[in-house]
Structure 1
């Protein structure tokens, strides 16, 4: 179930290293860790709840500490298996939305955060969007470029909405690829502002619809056909995978 709250509105700090129950969330659970890490203005004794690379973050502020209770967060679980849990976390600060991904591991000593990731594109993508957005009368080519960079910089929620709005065309792309219909593929890629559609030998049965790729960074959607081998969520590669519709997923790679 998706949870939404204003930072500090539902959480209160009682004593160093001790936190009160947050409504119906169990203390020490993955959801509790997400609440504390992303929304609490002080996470006392945080290293007790860190594992792996996060142990090196002892003297670094958490997201909640850095924002000092000025944002609104919402989150939901996108993976729960084999003593691992991954949550997608949306942080809204004024009009800006930042998507984070929190990876947790269940140990003999309870649940711990082992990594936190954020998907970032090259800086020129954001500056291009800002510059073009301030121009009232764009040329046709600049207008198309603005559509592309807006899609590239969309939040996860916006990417889901974009897919739902154009779902029939995405299905057509899959069919055109299977039929090797290059002309219709290119026309539809242009209409959808999608960079490429392809299959990857590493993931048999999956068809990737790439929105954009820069060096090792990549984002888009993929379709999983029959007997497909899906990529796995990892803080080191596919940092975000979430099912939108049966057989359809959003993905982000770093």
Structure 2
């Protein structure tokens, strides 16, 4: 099972929107897809129409060992897309895990138990670099970074890349950066073009060619409990995420590398 963490310690960069719509696009190509909601806000779960009352088990239960992955998984309205939802219990997980052995490997251990059930797993991380995100980076093979087209974008990215280097050195030497996706692109704003050019000049080919535009339909879709790709597959935001998914698929490791 290929595992990709979607992370950025800065909030409001389109991280969860990216996780939901990429997961939907991958499932649409026939990939058996699992989305892990690791954000205490649970926005990925809500955005896929998972009612709070249905979240008997969550990613919190995986981390503390209260339930196996098979019990925490829920089917979504999207064929071939499953989710492990999040609840606010995750907010206290970092404190509860302080004295737990191998606390950085709890998610990896849970995923290892059922790795053959899905082809690909996306992990939606919280907007921080705490223990929840560390668990995601230890469990993942690759990292995808949504990066908002704004002035301070690169400043926050350097902190995330430093964290990745530490994870590689201590816990997960095979972790790689799959790519950086530019989000909230506004063609009417000249600063947006400048930021995008600066990011590409700094990071080169690691930046995806596709940019995700600011789009009202992307913002509306979660309130209906649907990915934008289903809510309005013809809007520019949906078309951009479908194109990004094509690029992502081209960068996926070969099956023999993703066991």
Give the TM-score category using the shorter length.
under 0.3
Q: Which structure has greater strand proportion? A: 1
Of structures 1 and 2, the one scoring higher in RCO (CA 8 A, sep 6+) is: 2
Q: Give TM-score, length-normalised by structure 1.
A: 0.25
Q: Which protein has the larger Cα radius of gyration, Structure 1 or Structure 2?
A: 1
Q: Which structure has greater helix proportion? A: 2
